[in-house]
């Protein structure tokens, strides 16, 4: 695995939350908290990254995560260029790195990379010049570190702390980079219990999610949880099978207000978006008083500002 830290121990890349200490995660969350503003207020801005150039390399141009990173960089005063590139194929590794080196020679200081294939962000991080940083914006089903941080920040805001909480991660855990990064963040921050709640076919392998309890019955999985994190189900995959699967999934595993009553009375509900309403989550839950989903989005730009401001070396 590519090292994320410099020789002096400071964070240079953010590819995964695995291996980050509790102190490192808390410092990132503290810094992010300073950038949080209420809805309707002007966003936080600064010139911390003036003179810096950030390249967003996404396989699709219009994702909301791309906009979140773009606004985070611009609000710190950085220049941003957006490129839609196909990075994935291992066969094209050298040509992919040539693209990276070209951008590096154009004085790009930080790469934000989303890729459907595992390994690309790490390969880039291992290849760039020492002054360049790489941030993963989602790597296959492996990692989505800024999502894990924003989830932790959201819980901390709503609950005051993560220590001692019971957190249920519900849905397609097997394919979810969101679940993996959340598990790493929340475990490091002292969660009492992280539960994996999924139908048998969507449970991860036994060598993953160490220390988590596993539930294939959603009612048992939700009982007395402080935080319920619903995951997006990949409808693309479902459409290979019967059209009725969405309804069947909702019936068996959808997060409804009836099921949510099994959790603690002051439980909160989260979702990484985009939501399939009526599949993994009922609309009245998504929009209800326990929902922290919009806070997650707002915290996303604050977390990305904090990460960018942390990894990019001062001028």
Between residues 1 and 247, which has the closer beta carbon with respect to its own copies?
247
CB of 174 to its own copies, least distance (A): 24
192 and 164 Cβ atoms separated by less than 8 Å: yes
Q: What is the three-state SS of 97-149?
A: HHHHHHHHHCCCCEEEEEECCCCHHHHHHHHCCCCCEEEEEEECCCECHHHHH
Which residue, 37 or 264, has its beta carbon nearer to its own copies?
37
Sign of the four-CA dihedral 197, 198, 199, 202: negative
Tell me 8's DSSP state.
T
* Sign, CA torsion 49/51/52/56: positive
Phi/psi for 270 (5° steps) reads -130, 160
Output the CA angle 271-199-219, nearest 5 degrees: 70
Distance CA 25, CA 146 (A): 11
What whole-number distance in Å separates Cα of residue 43 and Cα of residue 70? 14
Q: Is 230 helix (H, G, I), strand (E, B) or coil?
A: strand
Rank residues 94 and 206 by Cβ distance to its own copies and give the closer one.
94
Residues near its own copies (CB under 8 A) are 37, 39-43, 45, 51-53, 55, 61-62, 64, 67-68, 70-71, 74-75, 79, 81, 83-85, 94-95, 98-99, 101-107, 129-131, 273-275, 277, 283, 294-295, 297-298, 300-301, 315
CA dihedral 156, 144, 286, 44 (to 10 degrees): 60
Distance from C-alpha of 256 to C-alpha of 285, rounded to nearest angstrom = 6
Smallest separation, CB 262 to its own copies (Å): 25
- Judged by beta carbon, residue 54 or residue 203, the one nearer its own copies is 54
For its own copies, the closer CB: 98 or 163? 98
Q: Which is nearer to its own copies, 35 or 209 (CB)?
A: 35
In the complex, the smallest distance separating the C-beta of residue 116 from its own copies, rounded to whole angstroms, is 17
User: Could you list the active site residues?
Assistant: 64-65, 92, 114, 144
Peptide bond into 274 cis (omega under 30): yes
Q: How far apart are CA 68 and CA 279, in angstroms?
A: 26
Q: How far is Cα 194 from Cα 210, in angstroms, rounded to an integer?
A: 10
């Amino acid at each position: 695995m590519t090292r994320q830290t410099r020789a002096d121990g400071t964070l240079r890349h953010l590819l995964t939350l695995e291996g980050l200490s509790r102190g490192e995660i808390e410092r990132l969350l503290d810094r992010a908290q300073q950038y949080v503003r209420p809805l309707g207020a002007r966003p936080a801005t600064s010139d911390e990254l003036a003179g810096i150039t950030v390249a967003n390399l996404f396989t699709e141009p219009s994702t909301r995560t791309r906009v979140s990173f773009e606004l985070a960089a611009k609000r710190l005063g950085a220049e941003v260029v957006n490129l839609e590139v196909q990075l994935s194929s291992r066969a094209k590794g050298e040509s992919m790195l040539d693209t990276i080196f070209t951008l590096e020679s154009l004085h790009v200081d930080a790469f934000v990379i989303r890729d459907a294939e595992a390994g690309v962000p790490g390969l880039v991080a291992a290849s760039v010049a020492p002054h360049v940083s790489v941030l993963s914006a989602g790597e296959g089903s492996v990692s989505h570190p800024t999502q894990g941080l924003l989830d932790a920040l959201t819980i901390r805001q709503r609950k005051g702390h993560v220590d001692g909480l019971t957190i249920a991660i519900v849905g397609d855990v097997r394919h979810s980079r969101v679940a993996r990064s959340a598990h790493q963040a929340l475990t490091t921050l002292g969660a009492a219990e992280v539960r994996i709640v999924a139908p048998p076919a969507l449970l991860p392998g036994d060598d993953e999610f160490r220390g988590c309890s596993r539930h294939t019955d959603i009612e048992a999985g939700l009982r007395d949880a402080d935080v319920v994190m619903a995951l997006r189900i990949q409808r693309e995959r479902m459409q290979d099978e019967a059209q009725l699967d969405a309804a069947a999934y909702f019936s068996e595993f959808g997060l409804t207000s009836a099921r949510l009553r099994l959790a603690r009375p002051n439980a909160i509900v989260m979702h990484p978006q985009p939501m399939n309403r009526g599949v993994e989550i009922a609309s009245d839950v998504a929009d209800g008083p326990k929902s922290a989903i919009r806070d997650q989005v707002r915290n996303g730009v604050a977390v990305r500002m904090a990460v960018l401001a942390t990894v990019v070396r001062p001028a």
